[in-house]
Chains A and B, each alone.
Chain A
Amino acid sequence: MQTAIIRAERVEKYYAQPSENRIQVISPTDLSIGAGEIVALLGPSGSGKSTLLRMLTGLSTPSAGEVYWHEKPIATASVNVSIVFQSFALFPWLTVLENVEAPLKALGMEPAERRKRSLKILDTVGLDGFQAAYPKELSGGMRQRVGFARALVVEPEVLFMDEPFSALDVLTAENLRSELLELWQNKTIPTQAIFIVTHNIEEAVLLADRIIVLGRNPGHVRTDFQVAIPHPRDRKATSFTQLVDYIYKVLTQPDAQPPALPQTSTGKTVRDQRQMHYQMLPHARPGGIAGLLELVLDHNGKDDIYRLADDLAFQIDDLLPIVDAAQLLGFLTVTEGDAAITSTGAEYANSEILRQKELFRNAAVENVLLLRQIVRAIESKSDRSVPEEFFHDMLDEQFSEDETLRQLETAINWGRYAELFDFDASRRRFIQSEKLHHDADASSTAEIDA
């Protein structure tokens, strides 16, 4: 391949913490985008897909490492890229035409030329006749067309897309995807490369010439491979489904030890989160876990995660946390992309609610350090209550502020469901649950699930 348009060299992102630790979001990563390719970046939530995209566009500066634009540091180069956003990011107070003209206005283009180019691109994306409309008068699909038009009107060398189709319904997304592919293959647009972030595996396999799969905690490249299937690609073809299955395997396989983490400039070692004290709780609800186990049981206790996702019409972002949670609790084992139910898992799926809670309780205390600690702390206190802050401060050492809050939320959710403890939301304290009042507990979990 010829020289890269954008090349990232050992870029990483981390947030310094007050203590010696720092929160590593993305570990040092090399990545390049060359001319003539569509690159898809896949990964579960929390793998830093969007962060990586923003570093590659120059929107966000890496904590270390450097991004090059045609071999010049990106901060000093005049970069010609566009982004299509998940939320469209249109200005609702500007008409379709004004939205598309805005980037050209920023470039200082003559009004007549500006209008001509904008109208031409609107025509290309199929928005002829809509130029005087406001975005809120359009449907989601039409709005994203405006997003595409605005991105393409500056004739970007690299077109970045941040989950561009995930806010759209399935049919609209399919339609837009194929139109984009058509524009690209017919060279209607002068764009040299497309970089798409997605959590939809099929979408990646449909579009991309090259797929990069990210792992999380911290984000790192797990695999980076070329897709050799010729266009148009058929979802039913064996080569297609095999590739999808392969990506599921990569995503669900326990991570091999990632490369050793570097030292910070001050000589402190960066700690890998998996070697840390607390495991990261996947954000799944007990109801979701039970639902998944029942489904696996229906599939004779063992199935491809790919097929399970297909059955549920779930994206990987929806399914993986549930699989992880079931695995953490010992209800499920995952090997080579296949999920198999364990004996406790089977019993859990078959039991009625009170027994389910008991099984969940035992599994949680046994496997989840944070929950075990909360229960012990409550028991050791004379007033049978512990402030949330106490655990917040401990988790804070290891997770970012947002993640700490999500961890606590999940812990509270699980603990309440398992009747391990209750949580007084107004005083922000963990308290002993009143075991006798099952009615009250049931209603409180119902509230959480809602």
Chain B
Amino acid sequence: MMKFPESFSNIPGRETLARSQVLQRSWPVFLDLCVAGIGLACFYGVVVIARYWFGHPEPEIAISLSPRALPQYAFYSVVRIFLAYLLSLIFAIGYGYIAAYSKRVEPLMIAGLDILQSIPVLSFLPGVMLAMVALFPTRQIGVEMGAIVLIFTGQVWNMAFSFYSSIKSIPRELTEAASIYKFSRLQKLIQLELPYAAIGLVWNSMVSVAGGWFFLMACEMFVLGTRDFRLPGLGSYLQTAAGTGNYTAITWGLLTMVAIIVATDQLVWRPVIAWSDKFKFEQVESASRVHSPMLHLFQHSRALQSLGRNTLVPLEEILYRRLAEKRVDASPASTPKADRGATKNGIVSRILRGLVILVGAIAVLYAAWQALTLLREVHGSQFVGILKGAAATFLRVNISLILAAAWTIPAGVAIGFHPRLARIAQPIAQIAASVPATALFPVILLALIRIGGGMNIGSIALMLLGTQWYILFNVIAGAMAIPSDLKEVATLFHFTTIQKWKTVILPGIFPFLVTGMVTASGGAWNASIIAEYFRLKNQTLQTVGLGATISAATDSGQFQILLLATIVMAIMVVTINRLVWRRLYRLAETRYKLGD
């Protein structure tokens, strides 16, 4: 479900940079509490709307299994992904921009990003769906909006983070050049900030869109108790096909999925990557470049060129002239006068701002408190059940991580060390990785039931499917980054295999491995929500686990348990991140950093 194009393997800096900026910041616990409070308040809001809507029966949508219906379903799914991505992009740029330039809210916004990145988005699925359906009078639009909002919440954070950290890492002299030459905000955004952030944004967009497919498949198959929220799309097609055991339909569905992924890669990502090459911030031209015939076509099309010349260019000119005129009017004369007025205005606006903050804080506190009072309805035995489930899911997540690491480390190192193998294996792995695990899940469960395996194995299999690729691609990148002189030293002194792994390979790939494992661990927790509780052929398959608790609680409308289980999961993910991954990350940044 994630791709790692070769062209990016030589710039591992951006993503790592972003993470390390988070690490450097030592937030007071206060900030985290603020974010937690806001999170609780949002949850409460969603629950209130959801409860209001409770109990309206709705007709369900029939999903056709004919292959002829597939293009239409595929189109629906693609449009959903596209809209959610567009929303994410705009939001990410706005969020990152404000966080980078507003000193006052920056720490809170970044703490928020860090936590939002780690909480299980899928546990909001039922809440968001119910709320959206309640908000929109026509059921269909509500469900559609719910799916889009959910995908959005799954993919926006890393993009926002990438944009923020790019702005923060713009070399000082470039910023100074922009201000000494009196660039307006717009010109600075277009000529400096967006280009500088472009490569990070492209990379993160690819990861986000792949993640979007994962969530979309889950959204499209969503069934809640007696109510059916299924959306016509690829995900529902696959699930219905698996439910009825229609193997022809399953094959067609999967083929369509792969075709979409390959087409997106060729028609969207490759041209975008080739185009973004010019935004590389480098002093020398690099040798390896991605080529795209599509981009060539766009860039050399006469029609497109003249279209741009006659519409965009004049528009831009008018805009710049307006901005310059405005600045000339505003700058020299008015400033001293404005000074006096500003102090008076300053007091008024400060009081106003204080009031707004106060009201906001009270509202957040109230809603958070209401959410917490919901928890009083939870019985002691239910609480014990949740803890038991948490332990089981913890175990499952770690088993899947160990299994994933066990095969991906040797495989990744082998691919990374042998360029010829890499040429064959990498494209295959990329395609395999692109198929969202959630799309495969019904198919795998069907097979498991047939051979007598249960939900327990099934859930681990789904987590493994969804997350192993993060580790594999990072390990490949890490193995490629090990300098060849280090490998030569190992050969020269006749290191034994064990010694070679201990002194050269494992330390060399360590930082990459940690990056992969962090992402994989977060993904596995998230996946547990659909992995441990699944409806197939009108029966519910489930096993003991936190994810199952969350899904079951939504099914039966027990919001207090849903809330508690979600909080427990969020706390576990954040705690593991802080206690384990962050430490390993710091170790990777200091001790196992190659070069420099």
Residues of chain A at the chain B interface (Cβ within 8 Å)? 54, 57, 59, 75-78, 81-83, 85-87, 89, 91-94, 102-103, 105-108, 111, 134, 136-137, 150, 154, 425-426
Q: Which of A87, A102, A105, A150 has the most CB of B within 10 A?
A: A105
* Residues on the A chain within 8 Å of B187, using CB: 102, 105-106
**Pairwise interchain contact A82-B278, C-beta atoms closer than 8 A:** no
Among A57, A83, A91, which residue has its beta carbon within 8 angstroms of that of B192? A91
Name B182-203 residues within 8 Å CB distance of A.
Answer: 182-184, 187, 191-192, 195, 198
The 6 closest A-B pairs by CB, nearest first: A108-B324, A103-B181, A89-B173, A108-B321, A89-B177, A93-B195
Residues of chain B at the chain A interface (Cβ within 8 Å)? 171, 173-174, 176-177, 179-184, 187, 191-192, 195, 198, 278-285, 317, 320-325, 328, 331-332, 335-336, 587, 590-591
Docked pose: A83 CA to B175 CA in angstroms: 12
**Pairwise interchain contact B174-A89, C-beta atoms closer than 8 A:** yes
Docked pose: A81 CA to B176 CA in angstroms: 12
**Pairwise interchain contact B324-A85, C-beta atoms closer than 8 A:** no
Among B176, B198, B283, B284, which residue has its beta carbon within 8 angstroms of that of A85? B176
Residue of A nearest to B198 (CB): A93
* Residues on the B chain within 8 Å of A89, using CB: 171, 173-174, 176-177
A92-B280, A93-B279 known; A102 vs B335 contact (CB < 8 Å): no
* Residues on the A chain within 8 Å of B285, using CB: 136-137
* Residues on the B chain within 8 Å of A57, using CB: 180
**Pairwise interchain contact B590-A426, C-beta atoms closer than 8 A:** yes
* Residues on the B chain within 8 Å of A54, using CB: 176
A76-B332, A92-B281 known; A106 vs B325 contact (CB < 8 Å): no
Docked pose: A426 CA to B593 CA in angstroms: 13
* Residues on the B chain within 8 Å of A136, using CB: 282-285
Task: Tell me the smallest distance from the CB of B281 to a CB of chain A, in Å.
Answer: 6
**Pairwise interchain contact B181-A77, C-beta atoms closer than 8 A:** no
Residue of A nearest to B281 (CB): A92
Q: Which of A54, A86, A89, A426 has the most CB of B within 10 A?
A: A89
Residue of B nearest to A75 (CB): B335
A93-B195, A108-B323 known; A76 vs B182 contact (CB < 8 Å): no
**Pairwise interchain contact A107-B323, C-beta atoms closer than 8 A:** no
A54-B176, A108-B325 known; A103 vs B182 contact (CB < 8 Å): yes
Q: Which of A77, A136, A425 has the most CB of B within 10 A?
A: A136
Task: Tell me the smallest distance from the CB of A106 to a CB of chain B, in Å.
Answer: 5
Docked pose: A94 CA to B278 CA in angstroms: 9
A75-B335, A83-B180, A85-B173 known; A111 vs B281 contact (CB < 8 Å): no
Residue of A nearest to B339 (CB): A76
Interface of A: prevailing SS:
loop
Docked pose: A89 CA to B176 CA in angstroms: 9
Q: Which of A83, A108, A426 has the most CB of B within 10 A?
A: A108
**Pairwise interchain contact B332-A94, C-beta atoms closer than 8 A:** no
Task: Tell me the smallest distance from the CB of A73 to a CB of chain B, in Å.
Answer: 9
20 additional A-B pairs beyond A89-B171, A106-B320, A154-B181, beta carbons within 8 Å, are A75-B335, A78-B328, A81-B180, A82-B181, A83-B176, A85-B176, A87-B173, A91-B192, A92-B282, A93-B278, A102-B191, A105-B320, A106-B182, A106-B183, A106-B184, A106-B187, A108-B323, A137-B285, A425-B590, A425-B591
**Pairwise interchain contact A102-B181, C-beta atoms closer than 8 A:** yes
Among B173, B191, B335, which residue has its beta carbon within 8 angstroms of that of A94? B191
Docked pose: A26 CA to B323 CA in angstroms: 36
Q: Which of B283, B285, B335 has the most CB of A within 10 A?
A: B283
Docked pose: A92 CA to B284 CA in angstroms: 10
Task: Tell me the smallest distance from the CB of B324 to a CB of chain A, in Å.
Answer: 3
**Pairwise interchain contact B180-A59, C-beta atoms closer than 8 A:** yes
Docked pose: A87 CA to B171 CA in angstroms: 10
Residue of B nearest to A54 (CB): B176
Docked pose: A300 CA to B81 CA in angstroms: 78
- Pairs across A and B, CB under 8 Å, 27 listed: A54-B176, A59-B176, A59-B179, A76-B332, A76-B335, A77-B332, A78-B332, A83-B177, A85-B176, A85-B177, A87-B171, A87-B173, A89-B173, A91-B192, A92-B281, A93-B195, A94-B191, A105-B320, A106-B324, A107-B324, A108-B320, A108-B321, A108-B324, A136-B284, A425-B590, A425-B591, A426-B590
Task: Tell me the smallest distance from the CB of B344 to a CB of chain A, in Å.
Answer: 19
* Residues on the B chain within 8 Å of A150, using CB: 177, 181
Task: Tell me the smallest distance from the CB of B173 to a CB of chain A, in Å.
Answer: 4
Task: Tell me the smallest distance from the CB of A424 to a CB of chain B, in Å.
Answer: 12
Docked pose: A290 CA to B174 CA in angstroms: 39
Residue of A nearest to B336 (CB): A76
* Residues on the B chain within 8 Å of A106, using CB: 181-184, 187, 320, 324
* Residues on the A chain within 8 Å of B317, using CB: 111
Residue of A nearest to B334 (CB): A76
* Residues on the B chain within 8 Å of A107, using CB: 182, 324
Among A77, A81, A82, A102, which residue has its beta carbon within 8 angstroms of that of B183? A102
**Pairwise interchain contact B176-A426, C-beta atoms closer than 8 A:** no
* Residues on the B chain within 8 Å of A103, using CB: 181-182
Q: Which of A81, A82, A87 has the most CB of B within 10 A?
A: A87
Residue of B nearest to A428 (CB): B590
* Residues on the B chain within 8 Å of A92, using CB: 278-282
Docked pose: A274 CA to B278 CA in angstroms: 50
Task: Tell me the smallest distance from the CB of A67 to a CB of chain B, in Å.
Answer: 14
Residue of A nearest to B177 (CB): A89
Residue of A nearest to B179 (CB): A59
Q: Which of A111, A134, A137 has the most CB of B within 10 A?
A: A111
Docked pose: A102 CA to B188 CA in angstroms: 10
* Residues on the A chain within 8 Å of B183, using CB: 102, 106
Docked pose: A150 CA to B587 CA in angstroms: 44
* Residues on the A chain within 8 Å of B590, using CB: 425-426
Task: Tell me the smallest distance from the CB of A88 to a CB of chain B, in Å.
Answer: 8
Docked pose: A140 CA to B519 CA in angstroms: 40
* Residues on the A chain within 8 Å of B184, using CB: 106
Task: Tell me the smallest distance from the CB of A159 to a CB of chain B, in Å.
Answer: 11
Docked pose: A236 CA to B229 CA in angstroms: 88
* Residues on the B chain within 8 Å of A137, using CB: 285
Docked pose: A442 CA to B183 CA in angstroms: 54
Docked pose: A425 CA to B320 CA in angstroms: 52
Residue of B nearest to A107 (CB): B324
**Pairwise interchain contact B173-A91, C-beta atoms closer than 8 A:** no
Residue of B nearest to A81 (CB): B180
Q: Which of B278, B328, B590 has the most CB of A within 10 A?
A: B278
Residue of B nearest to A104 (CB): B181
Residue of B nearest to A154 (CB): B181
Docked pose: A176 CA to B479 CA in angstroms: 44
**Pairwise interchain contact B180-A91, C-beta atoms closer than 8 A:** no
Docked pose: A137 CA to B280 CA in angstroms: 13
Among B278, B322, B332, which residue has its beta carbon within 8 angstroms of that of A134? B278
**Pairwise interchain contact B180-A82, C-beta atoms closer than 8 A:** yes
Docked pose: A354 CA to B317 CA in angstroms: 71
Task: Tell me the smallest distance from the CB of A370 to a CB of chain B, in Å.
Answer: 23
Residue of B nearest to A73 (CB): B336
Docked pose: A76 CA to B333 CA in angstroms: 8
Task: Tell me the smallest distance from the CB of B584 to a CB of chain A, in Å.
Answer: 13
Task: Tell me the smallest distance from the CB of A137 to a CB of chain B, in Å.
Answer: 6
Task: Tell me the smallest distance from the CB of B304 to a CB of chain A, in Å.
Answer: 19
Docked pose: A167 CA to B179 CA in angstroms: 23
Task: Tell me the smallest distance from the CB of B483 to a CB of chain A, in Å.
Answer: 15
Docked pose: A155 CA to B331 CA in angstroms: 20
Docked pose: A103 CA to B320 CA in angstroms: 11
Residue of B nearest to A147 (CB): B177
* Residues on the B chain within 8 Å of A87, using CB: 171, 173
A76-B332, A137-B285, A426-B591 known; A91 vs B179 contact (CB < 8 Å): no
